[in-house]
A and B are shown apart, each in its own frame.
Chain A
């Protein structure tokens, strides 16, 4: 790197290059140590899930399994006991999908339409309403828990999957609206005005002009909602019935049930299974999420 026959300004650079090199090494060391800290829990979970109980007892967290045991995965999936039923976490895994898919679709659609109205069809009080809605993004849900439980009872959807879908839609719409509103803010209002003069109506403009450019924000919203709803525990534990529990609740029951010896390998396998869908979404679409998030969230 250090060219001896370089010009004057390179000489200045060369003077600091020794220190620079040390700093550079220190920088990479810090980054790698931190990366190890972030990776360790997952590596330990994976290693533990592949050991048998004897190896877990005698080995340490980071010791490699002597042979790969996948039976803990099979047990976690189909025969481990969560609370009082012993069918593994697979039924609850399916419950989570039955909750998350309709809830994501409905809350994203509502968010898109609301965001479209708030940024491009402002009416008297729409800004005020938007502010009122933002509060809904941040309230501690403890403050609505009890009335919502009563309401679900009155509606006859307490302890059902539909009930949980309803709850997730109600408290997800504020966020989805926020995302779409921020995204649509950058669309010039003249575009809508021109389209109206050409005779396009509310839905035509949405369908023909707005939706085609919305892909990035739809991706962000879907990822956000999917992660939020899949990872939810509070609504799951407060509003689900015995058969409609989401996987987070089942995992917690599994880990906190202790009949006889604790099977840590099964616990860890179940935890990884419960984390897989959101991890997969993150690995495959995380790039778009971060990109979209910085466009939406940072600018507020």
Chain B
């Protein structure tokens, strides 16, 4: 297909007839066209559309009576939204910090020529394959005070053991952290383990010859060289944290009350079940702002780094 242009003789002699090359030259653009179109419309177009809606008074149906920043004012005066944002801060902060910490530690531990490494790695990693809906369902069962961990500990003889975070408005957000860490920390471990395996072996040998202990080698040489892995993990984790919707839906359904709401659940509730499209759109735009604040510097450094290669 499309090979006629270069069929006769070597390519150099074709210079006299550039027109015949044109289809082959256009082919890459033609096959990319659907993706370009879809990206422009369904990502950027829709973003703008939602942005526009966030400045309107839309309720049950989109309408285009512009009200300025009114929806944003309503949003930040909405107690439920502030709870959701605070929860995102607590949940996201703890989730990312614990996953990174566990991921690094476990990767270093697994890197010590462990017997049955493959089996252990598989166990650490399998939660990643499971949906947040299943994860939420499982942890809802484990954490519920009447049948779960609390009852188990009491039956073991710890009569005063109390673990009612799931129904305690002040603690429920930490249940989300437990389940999310269970799900994602193994994945972070795998990223770091792969990174560790990619560190130049000669560098480590040289450090050992210079008398550096294993601990020092990790701290001074290996870990600093894993900066790119660290940033990749950070981006992936913050992305998971900001878009967390299904975990909340399955584990707590936002409750008790709206104590465990996250922005993603707020947006869905207000847009689709409370018919407050304008307010929902404004909340979506704030979420987008959060993601871009993390993503743009990352992409910038990534793409700039590429040019040096």
Hey, which bits of chain A sit against chain B, CB under 8 A?
27-28, 30-31, 34-35, 37-42, 44-45, 48, 56-57, 60-62, 110, 113-114, 117-118, 121, 123, 126-127, 129, 131-136, 138-148, 150-151, 170-171, 173-174, 177, 196-204, 227, 230-234, 237-238, 248, 251-252, 255-256, 264, 267-268, 271-272, 274-275, 278-279, 281-283, 286, 290, 293-294, 297-300
Say whether B288 contacts A143, CB under 8 Å. Answer: yes
When A140-B242, A142-B268 are in contact, do A41 and B138 touch as well, CB less than 8 Å?
Answer: yes
Contact with A along B184-223 (1 / 0, CB 8 A): 0010001100110110000000000000000000000000
When A139-B47, A233-B131, A256-B253 are in contact, do A202 and B24 touch as well, CB less than 8 Å?
Answer: yes
Q: Can you name the residue of chain A whose Cβ is closest to the Cβ of B231?
A: A300
Q: How far is the CB of A148 from chain B (nearest CB, A)?
A: 6
Say whether B190 contacts A293, CB under 8 Å. Answer: yes
Say whether A203 contacts B1, CB under 8 Å. Answer: yes
- Top 8 closest pairs, chain A to chain B, by CB: A294-B194, A231-B131, A201-B2, A282-B129, A233-B246, A121-B28, A147-B46, A201-B3
Residues of chain B within 8 A of A231, CB atoms compared: 130-133
Q: How far is the CB of A62 from chain B (nearest CB, A)?
A: 7
A110 CA / B281 CA spacing, docked (Å): 30
**Out of B138, B149, B191, which one reaches A42, CB within 8 Å?**
B138
The tally of residues in B whose CB lies under 8 Å from a CB in A reads 104
Residues of chain A within 8 A of B182, CB atoms compared: 37-38, 41
A294 CA / B196 CA spacing, docked (Å): 11
A145 CA / B277 CA spacing, docked (Å): 11
A215 CA / B65 CA spacing, docked (Å): 53
Say whether A123 contacts B29, CB under 8 Å. Answer: yes
A-B contact count (CB 8 A): 284
A275 CA / B284 CA spacing, docked (Å): 29
When A41-B142, A117-B31 are in contact, do A275 and B130 touch as well, CB less than 8 Å?
Answer: yes
**Out of B27, B35, B120, B197, which one reaches A110, CB within 8 Å?**
B35
Say whether A282 contacts B126, CB under 8 Å. Answer: yes
A293 CA / B31 CA spacing, docked (Å): 26
A299 CA / B245 CA spacing, docked (Å): 29
Q: How far is the CB of A231 from chain B (nearest CB, A)?
A: 3
A257 CA / B197 CA spacing, docked (Å): 47
B165 interface residue, CB < 8 Å from A? no
Q: How far is the CB of A150 from chain B (nearest CB, A)?
A: 7
Q: How far is the CB of A273 from chain B (nearest CB, A)?
A: 10
Within 8 A of A (CB), among B275-307: 277, 280-281, 283-285, 287-288, 290-292, 295, 299, 302-303
Q: Can you name the residue of chain B whose Cβ is closest to the Cβ of A127?
A: B303
Classify the interface of chain A: helix, strand, loop or mixed.
helix
Residues of chain A within 8 A of B264, CB atoms compared: 140, 142, 234
Binds A, one of B72-80, B89-97, B105-113: B105-113
Residues of chain B within 8 A of A203, CB atoms compared: 1-2, 27
A148 CA / B246 CA spacing, docked (Å): 19
Within 8 A of A (CB), among B9-46: 10-11, 24, 27-29, 31-32, 34-36, 38-39, 42-46
Within 8 A of A (CB), among B136-186: 137-142, 147-149, 151-152, 155-156, 182, 186
Residues of chain A within 8 A of B194, CB atoms compared: 290, 293-294, 298
Say whether B132 contacts A233, CB under 8 Å. Answer: yes
A45 CA / B42 CA spacing, docked (Å): 39
Residues of chain A within 8 A of B292, CB atoms compared: 135
When A282-B126, A300-B302 are in contact, do A140 and B243 touch as well, CB less than 8 Å?
Answer: yes
B271 interface residue, CB < 8 Å from A? yes
Q: How far is the CB of B106 from chain A (nearest CB, A)?
A: 7
Say whether B141 contacts A45, CB under 8 Å. Answer: yes
Q: Can you name the residue of chain A whose Cβ is closest to the Cβ of B296?
A: A135
Q: How far is the CB of A179 from chain B (nearest CB, A)?
A: 14
A231 CA / B215 CA spacing, docked (Å): 40
Q: Can you name the residue of chain A whose Cβ is closest to the Cβ of B29?
A: A123
Say whether B295 contacts A135, CB under 8 Å. Answer: yes
B66 interface residue, CB < 8 Å from A? no
A101 CA / B191 CA spacing, docked (Å): 28
Say whether B242 contacts A251, CB under 8 Å. Answer: no
**Out of B36, B128, B149, B285, which one reaches A143, CB within 8 Å?**
B285
A28 CA / B246 CA spacing, docked (Å): 34
Pick 20 A–B contacts, CB within 8 A, sort by A: A28-B114, A35-B124, A44-B141, A61-B148, A135-B299, A136-B39, A140-B243, A141-B243, A142-B280, A144-B42, A146-B281, A201-B1, A201-B24, A231-B132, A233-B245, A234-B245, A252-B249, A267-B137, A268-B137, A268-B141
